[in-house]
A = this chain, B = another copy of it.
């Protein structure tokens, strides 16, 4: 698809600084970036804003808020506070999207953890509204249900968005997390009007590490173009982030990572 919609999610070049990635984006004609909070913290928020502006980049979204469930009320409140800071950072960086990776269960009671996620997001809505930042729930692949996100299907995220009845809350669709779902295309349709982000990469067998084995676009089995068309038919025409956690890719020079990102994006999405 067209280069103008490519956004470089910073974790795709996680070993490099925001400045390096931003400057390489500029060289490659990439117009968007998706920073992560740990990289922004490393560089400093004000400096990050400056770097992004100087490179002529727009910010597609900030990764990430979320991680709501915790064993005690005090910890859950601390998590909410941290999410407020994430909302502030998103606003400061000039994006209206905060990606939420919702967190795992502190014990075996997964239903309770799901309740904590919903309660956490609900609590954040007024603050997010004031900051003009959307809370974008990213359902993760079910293989992360125990350690990263009890929100594991787009259907479940859509249910939550419907219950919360606020245009402040929506979803991010990442192909890696949802491609396997027999209900995918129905749920993409249902998400129309509250899709706040779209992430691409690929699923390449074998998955040697659940977190860091993601493939480059075209390396795996995901029907990227089909899913992209469905997301567009549901009304989303914003930036498309390339988000690839891959330990081999991370070892490459960042200029090479960006070149490959751009090339495979143009060819396969």
Chain A residues proximal to chain B, CB less than 8 Å: 105, 107-110, 114, 141-143, 145-147, 152-153, 155-156, 159, 179-183, 203, 205-210, 220-223
Cβ contact within 8 Å between B105 and A221: yes
> Hey, which chain B residues are within 8 Å of A205, CB to CB?
146-147
> Hey, which chain B residues are within 8 Å of A156, CB to CB?
182
> Hey, which chain B residues are within 8 Å of A155, CB to CB?
182-183
Complex Cα–Cα for A203 and B220 (A): 26
Ordered by A's residue number, 25 sampled pairs between the chains whose C-beta atoms are within 8 Å are: A105-B221, A108-B222, A108-B223, A109-B223, A110-B179, A110-B180, A110-B221, A141-B142, A141-B143, A142-B142, A142-B143, A142-B180, A142-B181, A143-B180, A145-B179, A145-B203, A146-B180, A146-B205, A146-B221, A147-B205, A152-B181, A152-B182, A155-B183, A156-B182, A159-B182
Complex Cα–Cα for A141 and B182 (A): 13
Complex Cα–Cα for A141 and B210 (A): 13
> Hey, which chain B residues are within 8 Å of A223, CB to CB?
108-110
Copies in the complex: 2
Kindly list 11 other residue pairs between chains A and B, CB separation below 8 angstroms, not including A107-B221, A142-B181, A207-B210.
A105-B221, A108-B223, A109-B223, A142-B142, A145-B179, A145-B203, A146-B220, A155-B183, A159-B182, A208-B209, A210-B210
A-side binding surface: helix, strand, loop or mixed?
loop
Cβ contact within 8 Å between A180 and B203: no
Cβ contact within 8 Å between B153 and A182: yes
> Hey, which chain B residues are within 8 Å of A114, CB to CB?
182
Complex Cα–Cα for A197 and B236 (A): 43
> Hey, which chain B residues are within 8 Å of A109, CB to CB?
223
Given contacts A182-B153, A182-B156, contact A143 B221 (CB under 8 A): no
Cβ contact within 8 Å between B146 and A210: no
Interchain nearest-CB distance for A159 vs B (Å): 8
Interchain nearest-CB distance for A188 vs B (Å): 14
